[in-house]
Amino acid sequence: MKLGILDVAGVLEETIELAPIADQLGFHRYWIAEHQPQPTPILTTALVAGLTDRIRVGTAGILFHYYPPRRTAHDFQFLERAFAGRIDAGVCGGRMAGALLDDLEGRDPQAAMAAYPDRVETWVKHLRNTPANPDYQRKLAWAGAMDQPPEIWSLGSGPRSVDLAARLGLCFGYDYLYVSSKDEPDMLARYRATFVPHWNQPAPCSVVAVAGMCADTTEQARAYAAAFTNAFFLPRVVGDAATCARELRAIHARFGADEVIFADLCPGLDARRRQLELLAAAVQLTTP
């Protein structure tokens, strides 16, 4: 089983410390989440990619309502040029509520939600250098872009994200880490059944993201969980290394995903570092 890490903490100093450790231990991906207000994870992705050698690095995902499709495509193409074969470009719809609506700069929230699929399609076309007119062969990207785009991901848990990924030939990440997330393996089956191949993504590719806490003992992990106060994330996998590995493998098999992304919710740098070591050993990741 391939295992990746989803960094949801938003603590830059810890990210800088942990990403190289995840790289050395054999984790497959290191993804950066976005939760407004914060700087764009594209910047953090660039920093993490520069601090690591092998691991895939990317966004999971940028809250696409707040991003210009063409400009964002060019930024990801720049990262792919700098770190070829290691960049994951992930987007999600996200929630628009309360003060976050100010970030839409006067746009109507309902109109922004309705425009999401078309805006993602524009972004994907620019990432893939798809000419707007087949008779007009000028590529859409900046002149220094790679011919191969970064790996493109649609992230979410509902039909919109699933169908968008399948129709456009994108990778799909199922969110099973929130309080509101549903245990619906059928969504990944739907994605695989309706997937339309594309030249840069000839076959479906999926992950399931789950949140949890792993510690030296199950008692310690449960203590972390009992003290956890975030209203959005739900630690579903909690225990010692053997327990977490067993539960992650069960989720991997039940969803039929190609990979599991573990959102680590342990408190503080020391606990998060130890968690990486325990999971890598328990899942028997192969170090590079």
CA distance 59 to 239: 27
Residue 102 has pLDDT above 70, yes or no: no
Residue 219 has pLDDT above 60, yes or no: yes
Span 18-68, pLDDT tens digits: 999 999 999 999 999 997 778 899 999 999 999 999 999 999 989 898 899
Q: Does residue 214 lie in a domain region?
A: yes
Mean pLDDT of 94-118: 69
Is 215 a domain residue? yes
Q: Are 104 and 68 in contact (CB under 8 A)?
A: no
CATH number at residue 169: 3.20.20.30
- Domain assignment present for 288: no
Banded pLDDT at 199 (limits 50, 70, 90): very high
Residues 121-144 have pLDDT tens digits of 999 999 998 765 555 555 676 778
**pLDDT computed for residue 111 by the predictor:** 82
How do beta strands 56-59 and 62-63 pair?
unpaired
Q: Count up the domains in the chain and report the number.
A: 1
Q: Can you give the three-state secondary structure of the chain, one letter per residue? A: CEEEEEECCCCHHHHHHHHHHHHHHCCCEEEECCCCCCCCHHHHHHHHHHHCCCCEEEECCEEHHHCCHHHHHHHHHHHHHHCCCCEEEEEECCCCCHHHHHHHCCCCHHHHHHHHHHHHHHHHHHHCCCCCECCECCCCCCCCCCCCCCEEEEEECCHHHHHHHHHHCCEEEEEECECCCCCCCHHHHHHHHHCCCECCECCCCEEEEEEEEECCCHHHHHHHHHHCCCCCECCCEEECHHHHHHHHHHHHHHHCCCEEEEEECCCCHHHHHHHHHHHHHHHCCCCC
Tokens 């590079």 belong to which residue? Answer: 288
What does the pLDDT read at residue 286? 74
Structural domain range at position 197: 2-283
Q: Residue 99 has what pLDDT?
A: 42
Domain annotation covers residue 92: yes
pLDDT digits (tens, 9 = 90+) for 202-212: 999 999 999 99
Is 120 within a domain? yes
**pLDDT for 136:** 52
Mean pLDDT, rounded, of the chain: 91
* Mean pLDDT of the 77-95 span: 93
In a domain, 19, yes or no: yes
